[in-house]
Amino acid sequence: MTRAVIDTSKCVGHGQCAMMAPDVFDLDAGGYAETLVDELTGDQRRDAETAAMACPEQAIRLED
Ligand code: SF4
């Protein structure tokens, strides 16, 4: 099982993650990232990896 974890102390709300992986990430009412799913499918994992690399704050990590 792989899940995406957001370091909320680093996230500043650029939103790239929600654009790169809209099935995995969204922005909450305050404009900060939140995860939409607990367990990533293969496609979601691929998109989440892309989002993690795109995050300017390096706030996303994947945990197995
Ligand atoms: S791209 Fe990074 S900093 Fe921007 S909202 Fe997503 S997790 Fe937060």
List domains and CATH numbers for the chain.
3-63 (3.30.70.20)
Contact 24, 40 (CB under 8 A): yes
Would you state the pLDDT for residue 50?
Answer: 98
- Closest ligand 1 atom to Cα of 27: 5
Would you state the pLDDT for residue 60?
Answer: 98
Burial class (CB in 10 A: 0-12, 13-18, 19+), 11: buried
Candidate of 28, 32, 34 to mutate for ligand 1, largest count of ligand atoms within 8 Å of Cβ: 32
Pull the structure tokens for residue 57. Answer: 């704050």
- Residue-wise pLDDT tens digits, 6-40: 999 999 998 999 999 999 999 999 999 999 999 99
Annotate 42-60 with b (16+ C-beta within 10 A) or e (fewer): eebbebbbebbeebebebb
Residue 33 CA, ligand 1 centroid: distance in Å: 6
Beta carbon of 14 within 6 Å of any ligand 1 atom: yes
Rg (CA), the chain: 10
